Chains A and B, each alone.
Chain A
């Protein structure tokens, strides 16, 4: 799909926190597919868990700070050139989600499993908390689920 400035947006993996059960299947599946996990599940205050991975930002701060140009963004997708990487860690610090890591293999961030039709973390997710789609479709899905919840609350006479 086209974004607001006519740029092609890539699909991304989104998380529905109301469905995540903190099982860590996505982490293990990612580790199996890539050697090390690029998605991380954190439990907040014992009550909700949040899978965090690369948001495939339209304006990616990790790319912006990469002064040698090892990370670059073209038509929405971010690529990495290990020959240019100096190991400065700026990309790690710049990512607002902590979803970028740098180790001996270079920059580790979600590459959306290019060899698969659907990323491994999404296929494996037992509770269908991870969604792989265009952001517009995802927003539509979230609206639908919110409507069901609100409708149920009204139907059972609860105060919203």
Chain B
């Protein structure tokens, strides 16, 4: 077409990292053009990808810095806004110390921006830094770091096609990462067996040869039961176990009581089904495990991840083509935000903050001294600290903790107690409405930088449009605040920051701007400019100090909240294909919101009949924390006794519990006890 230019970019929604072009033509609205030569999505896009540009020129975009006054929001200049942020930070630092300040980074902004944001925090002595990975995959961080020594998907998506058995557990990828279904179907075309473990009959379960519809929160029992079958039937890979792992003997002793019959009783599936799944996974020449928030969002999330890793280790199903572990991450740059050190206990590159050698290295790289040496607070702990008055200032970037965190009403009360909250975002989210100052940010198509997808694939995004009004790139905003705090940042732009990342993060050493020009980017570890990247991890042993994987026995523990007479139903939460996370973007996209406009609750027809509820009725869902209204969707997607709420609408998390996993501090979003009545 005449005067058309195609700007290659990466989808801003989930962590799959699909490529497409923003097509620009004189006098026309920007539109999407497909990218058939992208190695992951081969041109395809899910509905959210197709609708990605709908937020670009949205009338509700934030256009000016806004300060809360007695008469409502007042537009102020950037000068005034930036002065206010830096003054508040300075005051709190001097009067109360860095532990009273929290920085919430964002899995939606670039690597360069997260890197600078956490660097700014740490140079100021602030170690309360976190990002929403806390709420989706923090158990993966701790579980896989311990098991394999490195946190990330082990194999790229196209390699799923080489698997002969794929065990999907706690992931509704057909809705939440639809492009992954493409690769699973390619594996099926080549004869692979697919097992889906999920309390719901999801579109992912439609792809399964075997669907194990377990009761929510019984994953450890199931996985232990499968491992017991594997050991009893001599299906473990003893050669791999001897050569590449430690801890096997402890595991053997721990599994004795997990007989198929007992596990069948706990998990609500048949004993024969457990045996069959165990045999399929262990016997296949190359098996993969795909998991997501059904595994992680539990008070036993870290145990769940560990059980998955144990299963892979005893069968030697890792470190080869077709054999790997795929923790599917929810956001476009959640892997990158974690890589960049936007976590309270890790410096950039996944290096522990309490390791003196690491602190020394970072101090040298940054020319700094007295950097934090102890972990700070996690996201949910920051909310708690605000509630208790121990946290005074919160700087939130591109996150909406009011909607995305658990137990909304209490979180709202906590954030109200803050002395000062600044929120930097593209829309006036529920959290932003509570802020004292709101800074308008540019979104992904309005800036340059890199995202790291869930495959560890680092890819470039490019500027295709101007930000609306006075909205600015997050990097510019951070640099301006840093300058006012005397931190001496002199970055000309994202390329300068990437150059520093190349120098500071060993695994990103060769991920240079020039090498990211072609579709597909580079998969880290990529330590030097000549390195081709590492699509498959652990081919030559694990990344632990002795090169061996860690098998760590875990015991089944029931969910923190169990049903009783008052709350007889199990409430589980999750996502639907047409929406995304807290919904601030998708609820504003007409082609998505028009298809799923309001909150609904899935109820099994059997339960609905007992409760005298009919399709479409407004019903009240109540837990110990609150009561909300939703429209009844009578469906066999959920079994009797289980109800499901998507969490894209503001009310859902008013019901969820803030009970945390003791290691990863993730709330148990996936199980709560509830009752349902007529609305």
Residue numbers of A with Cβ under 8 A of B are 19, 21-25, 27-29, 31-32, 45-49, 120, 123-128, 145, 148, 151-152, 156
Contacts and interface: CB of A to CB of B under 8 A. Distances in A.
Nearest to B203: A21
29 contacts: A21-B204, A22-B174, A22-B203, A23-B174, A23-B203, A24-B577, A24-B578, A24-B595, A25-B49, A25-B50, A25-B178, A27-B47, A28-B47, A28-B591, A31-B591, A32-B50, A46-B637, A124-B45, A124-B50, A125-B44, A126-B41, A126-B46, A126-B178, A126-B179, A126-B182, A128-B182, A145-B189, A148-B191, A156-B193
B181 A126 contact: yes
A21 B175 contact: yes
B168 to A, nearest CB: 13
A28 B34 contact: no
B362 to A, nearest CB: 41
A21 B46 CA distance: 11
Contacts of B577: 22-24
Interface residues on B, range: 35 or more
B201 interface: yes
Interface in B202-247: 203-204, 206-207
A32 B45 CA distance: 13
A127 B188 CA distance: 12
B636 interface: yes
Among B41, B50, B577, B578, residue most surrounded by chain A Cβ atoms (within 10 Å): B50
Contacts of A22: 174, 203, 577
A47 B201 contact: yes
Given A21-B204, A127-B182, 12 more contacts: A21-B203, A23-B46, A24-B577, A25-B45, A25-B47, A29-B45, A46-B635, A124-B50, A126-B44, A126-B46, A126-B182, A128-B44
A128 B178 contact: no
Contact of A29 (B50, B191, B207): B50
A126 B207 CA distance: 13
Contacts of A125: 44
Nearest to B204: A21
Given A27-B47, A145-B189, A148-B189, A32 B31 contact: yes
A23 B185 contact: no
B157 to A, nearest CB: 12
Contacts of A47: 201, 206, 636
A23 B47 contact: yes
A124 B181 contact: no
A50 B456 CA distance: 34
A128 B185 contact: yes
Judged by DSSP, the binding face of B is mixed
B34 A123 contact: yes
A111 B595 CA distance: 23
A19 B185 contact: yes
Contacts of A128: 44, 182, 185
Given A21-B174, A21-B203, A22-B203, A123 B50 contact: no
A52 to B, nearest CB: 16
Nearest to A156: B193
A21 B595 contact: no
A20 B580 CA distance: 20
A46 B429 CA distance: 33
B32 interface: yes
A25 B635 CA distance: 22
Nearest to A155: B191
Given A46-B636, A127-B185, A25 B203 contact: no
Contacts of A123: 34, 36, 43-44
Identify the 7 closest CB pairs spanning chains A and B, nearest first: A21-B174, A126-B178, A28-B50, A28-B47, A21-B203, A25-B47, A23-B178
B592 interface: yes
Contacts of B175: 21, 23
Among B45, B179, B577, B636, residue most surrounded by chain A Cβ atoms (within 10 Å): B45
Given A46-B635, A46-B637, A21 B206 contact: yes
A151 B188 CA distance: 12
Nearest to B43: A123
Nearest to A30: B50
A25 to B, nearest CB: 5
A10 B204 CA distance: 33
B269 interface: no
A56 to B, nearest CB: 22
Nearest to B50: A28
A151 B36 CA distance: 32
B6 interface: no
A114 to B, nearest CB: 14
B7 interface: no
A46 B189 contact: no
Contact of B46 (A19, A25, A45): A25
A28 B34 CA distance: 14
A46 B213 CA distance: 15
B51 interface: yes
Nearest to B36: A123
B506 to A, nearest CB: 35
A20 to B, nearest CB: 8
A151 B46 CA distance: 31
A24 B49 CA distance: 11
A19 B32 CA distance: 25
A51 to B, nearest CB: 13
Interface string B423-462: 0000000000000000000000000000000000000000
Contacts of B185: 19, 127-128
Contacts of B203: 21-23, 49
Contacts of A120: 34
Contact of A126 (B36, B45, B191): B45
A127 B592 CA distance: 19
B34 A124 contact: yes
Given A28-B591, A32-B50, A123-B43, A21 B207 contact: yes
